[in-house]
């Protein structure tokens, strides 16, 4: 499992894998930003269409919110540029131009910042759900769609889109997504975390037993002269019997 969750920047091979799987944005971001610069109502319409088509594709939500933030910045820059050119051509009052630029900057900076903060929060939330998927898959060879939806508290349609995306970027190295059956299926190399923990404990116990056996290689079982109990002693060692207190020696 890739424990970093959704990566901030996808590798080239991951982007290529997404394209091969047919996972791409409904409308390219540069098209929307160009629409904002040329005639912003068209840009907002394109942004709305893209967001609507990405309703269940949560891996695009943070990108869409950042794109909205970029859109507000572009509109502000266009308006400021128009005001500056108009002021220089008509020799308008510089104070009025400055006041207009300040007002526009504030009006559009606020929603842009809100979009950026919302994008950051959305990204963290999605990463949290992806980690939840990974932890669930690490302990089970087969994980059903219903289990994934219940564990993450998400709609099954959203989980299906998440699985398509995560499988394409190689998030589950030991599982494959069976879209027809709607489940994650472990590969031959799958080992659950409980299996690995048991293996680790067994190796630790084995090492401890070997160490103890080595340290007691020269020990002998001696009979207590007082009660006859068996006492394990090293050569030359003396010890009181734990049953009767008699001194037992090994020569």
Tokens 């998440």 belong to 162
**E strand or H helix at 143:** strand 142-144
Q: Which band of pLDDT confidence, cut at 50, 70 and 90, is reported for residue 137?
A: confident
CA distance 82 to 58: 37
3-state DSSP assignment of residue 96: helix
Q: How many CA atoms lie within 13 A of 54 on its CB side?
A: 21
CA dihedral sign, ordered 86, 92, 96, 99: positive
CA distance 46 to 69: 14
Among 36-45, 70-79, 217-226, which is the least confidently predicted range? 217-226
**Taking residues 184-189, what's their average pLDDT?**
83
Q: pLDDT at residue 4 above 50?
A: no
Q: pLDDT at residue 160 above 90?
A: yes
pLDDT computed for residue 244 by the predictor: 66
pLDDT computed for residue 247 by the predictor: 80
For residue 184, list its beta bridge partners: 143, 177
Q: pLDDT at residue 141 above 80?
A: yes
Q: Which band of pLDDT confidence, cut at 50, 70 and 90, is reported for residue 19?
A: confident
The pair of three-digit structure tokens given for residue 54, joined into one six-digit string = 């990405």
pLDDT computed for residue 47 by the predictor: 96
**Taking residues 182-211, what's their average pLDDT?**
62
What length is written for the chain? Answer: 251
pLDDT computed for residue 95 by the predictor: 76
| Cβ(68)–Cβ(45) below 8 Å | no
- Of all residues in the chain, what percent carry a pLDDT higher than 90? 48
**Taking residues 206-224, what's their average pLDDT?**
58
pLDDT computed for residue 219 by the predictor: 63
CA distance 140 to 128: 19
| Cβ(181)–Cβ(166) below 8 Å | no
pLDDT computed for residue 5 by the predictor: 44
Q: Which residue has the higher pLDDT, 71 or 237?
A: 71
Among 52-56, 161-165, 219-223, 237-241, which is the least confidently predicted range? 219-223
Query: 32-70 pLDDT, tens per residue?
Result: 999 999 999 999 999 999 999 999 999 999 999 999 999
Query: 83-119 pLDDT, tens per residue?
Result: 888 777 766 567 788 898 999 999 999 999 999 999 9
């Amino acid at each position: 499992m890739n424990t970093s969750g959704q990566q901030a920047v996808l590798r080239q091979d991951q982007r290529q894998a997404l394209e091969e799987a047919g996972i791409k944005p409904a409308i390219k971001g540069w098209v929307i930003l160009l629409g904002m610069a040329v005639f912003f109502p068209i840009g907002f319409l394109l942004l709305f269409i893209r967001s609507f088509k990405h309703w269940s594709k949560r891996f695009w939500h943070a990108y869409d919110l950042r794109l909205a933030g970029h859109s507000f910045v572009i509109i502000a820059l266009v308006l400021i540029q128009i005001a500056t050119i108009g002021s220089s051509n008509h020799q308008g009052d510089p104070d009025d131009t400055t006041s207009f630029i300040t007002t526009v900057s504030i009006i559009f900076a606020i929603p842009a910042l809100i979009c950026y903060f919302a994008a950051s929060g959305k990204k963290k939330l999605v990463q949290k759900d992806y980690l939840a998927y990974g932890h669930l898959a690490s302990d089970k060879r087969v994980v059903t769609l219903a289990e994934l939806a219940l564990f993450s508290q998400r709609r099954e349609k959203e989980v299906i889109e998440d699985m398509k995306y995560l499988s394409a970027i190689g998030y589950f190295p030991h599982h494959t997504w069976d879209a027809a059956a709607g489940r994650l299926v472990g590969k031959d190399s799958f080992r659950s975390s409980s299996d690995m923990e048991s293996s680790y404990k067994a190796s630790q116990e084995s090492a401890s037993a070997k160490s103890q056996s080595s340290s007691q290689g020269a020990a002998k079982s001696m009979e207590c002269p007082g009660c006859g109990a068996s006492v394990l002693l090293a050569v030359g060692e003396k010890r009181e019997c734990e049953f009767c207190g008699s001194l037992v020696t090994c020569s």
